[in-house]
Structure 1
Amino acid sequence: MNFFQKIKAGALQYVLVISVVIAIIIFAFISLVYLQQRMNIKYQFTKDAINNVQMGFDIFKQKKITYNTETPINFSDNTETVTTLIKKHWGIFDLAIVNSKVKNEFFQKVGLLGFQSSKRDALFLQDNNNALVLVGKTKIIGDASLPKRGVKSGNIAGESYYGNELIYGTIKASTSSLPKIKNIKYVKDFYKNYQSSGMESFELEIGLKLYQSFTENTLIYESINSIVLEDISLRGNIIIVSKTAITIKPSAILEDVIIMAPRINIEKNTTGNFQAFANKLIKVEANCTLNYPSALILLEDENQSSTSNSNNQQLKPIDDVPIAIAENSEIKGFVIYHSEIKTLNYKAQIQIEASVLIKGEVYCSKNLELQGTVFGTVYTNNFLVKKSGRIYINSLYNGVINSKEIPIQYAGLLINDSNSVAKWMN
């Protein structure tokens, strides 16, 4: 047998091709295993970063964090893990930013913070030595803090109270002052001195579409003249200020922004999500929807002249009510009237008309006229009813307050220290 016979070139090529294919398969398999390992490591780092961010937001619930300062937190002994917490003010809310970096993986979340409670009362009525009088289709569902004189049924213009019970919940004793909004001093200072370092000016124009992240500098537009917001889209870290008045038309898209002016008028059929600050007038016309978490805040200036408290005072039109909310409007968030002026009067500072729905909280340091419905909590110094040419103090006529209808996830006014995320901002 001849062991040295020639092998055909085609067979050698065939062997060579098979060898190359096998090499490619082996290389691909090794690469796949390596890539899979890298992906697993990357996934673990990303997962760790996400978990660190979530634990960071839990820290905001448990302890106080200094404003405008990067606070480092260590959740592990890994020196290549860096997590920082930042807390800022954003209007009446707190803004929380948590960053986490694990090796080369980075994760960040931004959220608005509010107070969250597993059990909310329906009503806190300040004790002014007057009983609460319920008339008509009024209904209070949930626990209520009331004056020592308690609650009773009454009669207005020949109409009595129709309920089977006075309070559909537990009655507790209130005090001679309302619960304090913990950040109200900052809110008042912010309204007067809203400018801060790092703000950037921009120009308003018809058709403008603008988004600004809360991790970037705040954009601000200021004018001494009245401002009309229409055919415009503003979202995020943006403040609009007028020294005169601001009108918001239904063609304006506003989300998470802050609006500031002595007088603010929200025209009928407007939909949005924003905070509105004023010191003279906030008017919400019919059929408006302000999505959660919105806020209407009127801070009465101590220099403003007080209204006469004469019993013969002539009734004023709705435009004279500091905060007036017209029929069929829905507000998800806060409605706040705050004043340090102790002089009482016989006019409503907040007027909520029939068929209005508030999902959240109403806080009034003077007189509240409630004809609509509040799913949440009402804090007020007094109720007031204007009917048939007469004024009834501490009477509630056809108003509904139901704390059972507010979602457990709702995060509202900073009255206690238990912070929770009201809305994710990115």
Structure 2
Amino acid sequence: MIFRVSGGVLSYVLAISLLVSVVLSMLTLYVYYARMEHSHYLTRIRLQKNLASGIQMTLGEYDHFAYDQAYHYDLYGEEQDSINILRRAWGLLDLYRVTAYKGDLEVSRIYTLAHRPAPQGRSAVFLVDDGRPLSLVGDTRLIGDCFLPVSGVQSAYINRVGYTNDSLIYGQELKSEKKLPEVALKEAFTKIEKLAGGEAEPDEDTLTNSFGADLVQVKAGNVGVNKVYSGHVLITSNTRLVFDTLARTTDIVAYAPVIEFLNGFHGSGQFFATDTIIIHNNVKLTYPTVLATYNRDDLATIQTRGKCEIAGWILMDGSKDGFRRRVIYLEDGTQFHGMIYCNGMLETYGTVEGHVTVKRFLVNSQTGVYENYLFNATIDGTKLDTAFLALPQWFYKKEGKVLKYLN
């Protein structure tokens, strides 16, 4: 028996065969790309784990890495888990870039590193033992452990005003030493002086530069700073840097003989002056901010004028002689949260929530100048929260912590 098939049926068969072939091809491609995407996903997960391992290496062995030298590691010796580590100085902070890579895939993080404070850094005061006691006057409060001279602490009078509280120290009295711990502030200033980057000005009102990019330098001259600067930016002047009310800064470094923050300025960064830093009323400098002066011959001052808020670190150092030419002055209404290092004279009428390391305290009054006196000052070492980190300068633990992840 002979079956005859219409020619139209053959067309249907061919069409269905083509459709099935397309569907099978699509399924094959889907499976292929799904497997490829899953493989990339597993690779990215592995890169993230390797990145975390690299970060932990920097935290545990931070002093193993020399500055500006790239380190390459194969984590497990299988040529599958490679990382790069680069350490750079950024002001007083250590800046790390860790990159994990495999083939053309890579992930990286950039961050600043600091430390947990040592027990001394958790105290209220470390006052150098110069053979004279610490005298307290008025409504002065020292809260927390205090490292003091052998001669101890006593109540006293200024302008017929005596000490008004019921305890001299609200904490344990411990013995200090005859010298301040040394800080590498001179070396830090030298490094900052050598920093140089491509000169730039913001096209509009903002300049944001990633820490993954080359340094950008803004030479302000005598012109006030009134724009928004963020990231890997160095702002310098040969004379005076004045940060206007309209200006905002984040994570930058600034360097000049004189730095001044006008009424209402808000920002963060590291600010280095060879002469003077002035903080006016209603200024808010957020954590992590560094204010530092280093004088070689001339006077050096850091002073607040009015109600302001500062969170971070204040450091003052200089040549071995002439510590009386270096003065930190915190006016009544100043709220400081952090750690202070003063190889000079500290005159404070504000509130310090944190730690003070100081050569001498100072009070200026109508009846005279009094050294190692505190008058209506509050220093509360118990208010330094557990998340606060210390600079790798003084009174820090030998264990690194991520201070801030950067873009």
* TM-score, normalised by the number of residues in structure 2: 0.89
Q: Secondary structure at the match of 1:296?
A: strand
Give the 3-state SS of the residue equivalent to 1:188 in structure 2: helix
Tell me if structure 2 keeps the 8 A contact 1:358–1:375: yes
| Offset, 1:108 | 1.0
Q: Is the alpha carbon distance of 1:217 and 1:348 closer, same or farther for their aligned partners in structure 2, counting shifts above 3 Å?
A: closer
> Are residue 419 (structure 1) and residue 400 (structure 2) matched?
yes
Residue number among 142, 145, 155 corresponding to 2:144 in the alignment: 142
More deviation, 167-176/64-73: 167-176
- C-alpha contact 1:355 1:372 (8 A) present in aligned 2: yes
Q: 1:206 to 1:129 in 2, by over 3 A?
A: farther
Q: 1:135-163 CA deviation, whole Å, 9 max, x = no partner? A: 33322232221111122233333433344
Cα 1:16–1:61 change in 2 (3 A) is: same
Equivalence for 2:161: 159
Inter-partner Cα distance in structure 2 for 1:264 and 1:256? 16
Among 42, 52, 55, the residue aligned to 1:54: 52
Kindly state the Cα deviation for residue 80 of structure 1 after the two structures are TM-superposed.
Answer: 3.4
> Would the aligned equivalents of 1:80 and 1:103 in 2 still touch at CA under 8 Å?
no
Deviation of 1:367 after TM superposition, in Å, equals 0.7
AA aligned to 1:121 is S
Letter paired with 1:166: L
In the TM superposition, 1:380-395 aligns within 5 A as: 380-395=358-373
Larger deviation, residues 24-33 vs 411-420: 24-33
Structure 2 CA distance, aligned partners of 1:50 and 1:136? 56
Distance in 2 (CA, whole Å) between partners of 1:398 and 1:74 is: 58
SS of aligned partner of 1:259:
strand
Kindly state the Cα deviation for residue 341 of structure 1 after the two structures are TM-superposed: 3.5
* CA 1:21–1:144: 2 relative to 1, 3 Å: farther
How has the CA–CA distance of structure 1 residues 23 and 153 changed in structure 2, closer, same or farther, with 3 Å as cutoff?
farther
Partner of residue 297, structure 1: 292
Structure 1 residue 338: deviation in Å?
A: 0.9
Cα distance in 2 for partners of 1:43, 1:135 equals: 66
> Paired residue for 1:4?
3
Q: Distance in 2 between matches of 1:3 and 1:353?
A: 113
- The 3 A distance-change label for structure 1 pair 227 and 17 is same
Alignment of 1:191-270 (within 5 A): 191=192, 193-196=193-196, 199-202=197-200, 204=201, 207-222=204-219, 225-230=221-226, 232-270=227-265
Q: Give me the whole-angstrom Cα distance separating, in 2, the residues matched to 1:206 and 1:249.
A: 18
Q: 1:102 to 1:408 in 2, by over 3 A?
A: farther
Q: Give the share of equivalent positions with the same residue, in percent.
A: 24
1:357 is aligned to: 335
* Partner Cα separation in structure 2 for residue 151 and residue 178 of structure 1: 19
Distance 1:365 1:36, change over 3 A: same
Deviations 1:93-137 (A, max 9, x none): 111111110233211111112222375222211111121222333
SS state at 1:175 partner: coil
Classify 1:205/1:97 alpha carbon distance in 2 versus 1 (closer, same or farther; 3 Å).
closer
Aligned to 1:276: 271
C-alpha distance in 1 between matches for 2:55 and 2:162:
50
CA shift for structure 1 position 327? 2.3
Are residues 40 and 121 of structure 1, via their aligned partners in 2, closer, same or farther at CA, if it must alter by over 3 Å? farther
What residue in structure 1 maps to residue 306 of structure 2?
327
Kept after mapping to 2: 8 A contact 1:412/1:422 = no
Correspondence 1:189 to 2:190: yes
CA distance in 1, matches of 2:274, 2:27: 70
CA contact (8 A) 2:323 2:344 kept: yes
Q: CA deviation at 1:178?
A: 1.3
Within the candidate set 306, 318, 321, 1:339 is matched to: 318
Does the C-alpha gap of structure 1 residues 12 and 285 become closer, same or farther in structure 2, counting only changes over 3 Å? same
Are the aligned partners of 2:291 and 2:315 in contact in 1 as well (CA < 8 Å)? Answer: yes
Q: In the TM superposition, what is the alpha-carbon distance from 1:264 to its structure 2 partner?
A: 1.2
Structure holding more strand per residue:
2
Contact map agreement 1:271 1:290 (CA 8 A) in 2: yes
TM-score normalised by structure 1 residue count: 0.85
Match of 1:318 in 2: none
Output one character per residue of 1:35-62: Cα deviation in whole Å (capped at 9) or x when no partner.
3332222122222222222222222222
Q: Secondary structure at the match of 1:264?
A: strand
Aligned length in residues:
400
Letter in 2 for 1:229: V
Assess if the C-alpha contact under 8 Å between 1:334 and 1:360 holds in 2. yes
CA spacing shift, 1:35–1:266, aligned 2, 3 Å: same
- Secondary structure of the residue aligned to 2:333 is coil
Instruction: Note if contact 1:118-1:408 (Cα within 8 Å) is conserved in structure 2.
Output: no
* Change beyond 3 A, Cα 1:233–1:344: closer
| CA apart distance, 1:363 | 1.1
2:236 touches 2:254 (CA, 8 Å); kept in 1?
yes
Correspondence for 2:127? 125
> Any conservation in 1 of the 2:159–2:367 contact (CA below 8 Å)?
no
- Note closer, same or farther for the CA distance 1:106–1:367 as it changes in structure 2 (3 Å cut): same
Structure 2: distance between partners of 1:258 and 1:109: 20
Is contact 1:45-1:103 (8 Å) kept?
A: no
Unaligned runs of 5+ in 1: 307-320
Rate the CA distance shift 1:393–1:35 in 2: closer, same or farther, 3 A.
same
Specify the SS of the correspondent of 1:157.
coil
Cα distance in 1, alignment partners of residues 266 and 83 from structure 2: 37
Structure 1 residues 140 and 151, CA gap change in structure 2 (3 angstroms):
same
